[in-house]
Structure 1
């Protein structure tokens, strides 16, 4: 009863009962046929129809009627069961019990009439096997199966007992033991069956619940993505207005106090924008929705560009920032350049904020995983105070650090390393660190990137600079390491001294020994007054056999001071701003020694850009404040701007006037940026336009995949709001220059034709 109470719900489950009943119906057809065959064999081969015609006729008629009813309910299962499962089950059970009783009585009659003859043993053996095999199929209905077993075996047991001899009693006792064992087995099989049904039902229920939970989670994730897309767009639009107006305010006459307040407002706005970006990135990573934009890019150039952006921030805190590369790093790889730059930016920014050191060094290496795949490893090492051991176990957890007043002032969110870890793992890499108190910290990450099949020729100045003697004065740490590494790669002979106290004597001594220096680098330590004594001494020295060229290593702020004070004009030296990158170093060496510029170092973008002033720009923007900001920035850059508020007006205006470039907002009423671009590109294709108008998306929507959507509809580039004036200028020059080059090529081809 306990089992029946526990499984009362399952016993009423129609799906489960139908499956059991269908199995019984299928199996019963074979056993009913077997009963008929046994009866026919005994009646014909055993001559029962001649010896005992009455018993044969009565048993045959009863068996035929009951078997016909069972066959009907088995063969017409779907229709009869559908008319009423309970009624079908009742009729079927009655016919089964009747069939079993008929076979049991027939077996008893054979035993009583034939005593212990062959027919009696044959029928008895069949009844035992029939009962045992059916026990498994009938196990779900334990009580009804017990009745069936009684009907099968009690008549033969009674018949053998009536014989009243030792053999008959022995067989009767054996059959009784067999019946008890089958009843016990039926009970056990029934318990196991319903346990299995219950487990299967629970698993099915859990699987259904899990599927429902997964669907709900997916829906929630989609809702979160849409929410982030909308909310970041809505936040970035006013942020664009605020920062744009502050940029325009910077061009007006402000008092010192107003200038300070304006700078504070700009820094606060940029900090808020950075926080928004971090939250969006962290949300994408945790939900597994990061999409990597694969493109071919130049590894060293990507890293060098990031260093140049981060350099002024490091110099403001009195830190040197430099980078060393291992030899034979492939020039081009396929991967997400933006995400790689973000990883580097996060780690270097953390070193600038928290290390309190004086030197930050990046080391870049790459190892081949296969012919088409390589692993890029970037480490960021500082010589600061190290990381508190208490924090090290949770360093990559989001919001794991205890924010101090200093952290808040430095705009620390606690998400940078968590985002970096997620990005590295998304790019099939890893991230880690090692730190020693008061000795510094080294963070590293690896990412896997396919190698590009088109490798650009590596920049080389070996022939012109072969064996030129170089002296480096005042540089140390990572700066010296990076400088020596690159100069040695160009086969120059490099020496260095820590300070300039003995530089004068060393230079004179080397010149006397006919191994004079042809180039001298003089480092200006950041946040220290400019000391040009060595340069003055060199200019006042007696003429040397080898007249050295002098290159000053300075920060951008120090270079600006030299320009403002007129000091640069007084000195016949070249300047190289830190952080030192490979291309800047190459450029200054070319200028210093008046070498032929290698083709791969030419700045094709600037050469092609030409004069930008007076170019006609169409601004498609529905927000009035955004229009004002964009117009102010474009006018400041010297462009002539015409603005419209939606795509329909833009298409109409393009019928009347010609423009050199279009800045297109994406989300507008009437006709949005995507539809407008598609319509314009279709028109250009239909008219076979000779020149394609560049279209740059300018939108506050920074959700993952937005840039691909813009490019897919026919736009040429993408700018996210708030727009930085330097980035806007670079994009404009890039595409206007590219258009000039295209026009020149077409004119040239027409003339030649």
Structure 2
């Protein structure tokens, strides 16, 4: 039978049966509507009970409503009633019941895809986490809530979440970020026309403003708060006002006034803390109670409106479906030939797409192979540079020689980092580069950058100036190579575009807590400057100010792109101010953790590398390396630390020596003539399961690290390496294999 005839009969059959389906759906909808109407009526009674402070009755009504909604499988109303119960239990200080109900609410709201109700439940979850003192979980709940509400018009809910974020930051003494969070909360509360939420955030903001010394702003904020709070029973806001006034008076030296406000603060706080649970939501007019009742009424109305819209939409869609089916039935035969032609065209396009996909996959494979090869070829000579530098530094050079060797070591580390970032630019832009955290001397690191760039500055007739805040701690915790690369690119850029001028590097402390410090960096020059038009694209890959600038000054245009990507990884943004002919200033902020030194500890660096060098003495090591220079460097580094070495030029020799001689540990290169280091290790493991074998390789192994462990390697040392890291890996390998106690 003709396919078109079959399709026509199908659509006619569907049209004939659709009225019966619609009747059945309508009957089911009527039954559900009766229960839904009852639930809505109960929710309205719960609103009245809360407004009359009859919390026991409100809880009973909400529990009954939730059970009804559960029976008919109406997850939206289950989420609404459980969420309201959780909030009510929280306000009554019954935190365990609040957690139980909020968990039910979150589950139901996720199933029903109710973003506004989910946002409210994440607010309750955040408040419960803060009661438990779990700030990490509270922050997670805030992030989830803001993500869920991203496309929502409920600015009042977003305002509450930002206010809670500010409270967490404030409790951690991070007042600058706290002020920003409160500002976002105030803006959203204003957009929602919610004066209470706005005043609450203003009060919390005033504490942070006073704490950081922005007293005039704090005064202005107090005036705005008092205009709203005057004559109202708002104990929490009143407490906050007393605290702010105490901080302002103390900062201005009015100690008697500060003491009076502090006394009032504690008296008011004690009075609030002593209130019974029923007093948390007091009888009579109260802004906080009104806010909760209004919220509940709004949720009920929203749910009713959504249900009504859903019913209307179902009716409209039913009518539209009938019309569409009729039109499809009439036009199906005429369009069949057009469809056949379209299918032929699509098949041809699909063949083209498959070919294009295959070509793209081949290109990606070639690119990966090229990067793997070029990584080995670049890192192998870098191993010789860094290794020989270390050996020369250990041979008692003169002070002048040591200065130059330190500069060479620094430049080698920077060059290695630059090679890695250029080769892995896609990885960098995808935020897959890991940020290390180690202790380093920030001022020394900056001075090393300036020393490395000193000659190029002098060649251009430029002077370098370092202005660093003396209050910045000597040691910080962070990624030293990243800040070096950022500064080398920015300072080098300033030197390149300045002649017979000055380049300033400024580092100022913004804020400091017990565990971290925020710093502001500026790199300023009085050189060529950048036009407004070019400032918009200056941070893109391979971009310079103009073709003329490229010809005049050279360069790849990659430096500022790398700086931007690195700062993105460090959760920072770079900005610039520039005027043609007058110069340019680049600015960015960074946060570093602070060293937590133990009592009596003189050298915190020893925490990083816990190596017993005495235990390593006289240990017999087999070095498997086909490159004679690298073989010699590795042997000398080991022998300098009183270890004995044997060498093998390829995998076959290594397997034979491991079979016939006794070694404490094997350092195995991967790419060698004959059998590879992977194959050699597999063969050694056939007759010796215990000896520790470390892969000493210049290959990028991020993508296939499991393969190394699968063939029998104990650990991996990527070349070139830091000497301390080298010995740490050897020490761990010997200890884990019980060669060392």
TM-score tier (shorter): 0.3 to 0.5
TM-score, scaled to structure 2: 0.41
TM-score, scaled to structure 1: 0.41
- Of the two structures, which has the highest relative contact order with CA contacts closer than 8 Å and spacing of 6 or more? 1
Greater share of helix? 2
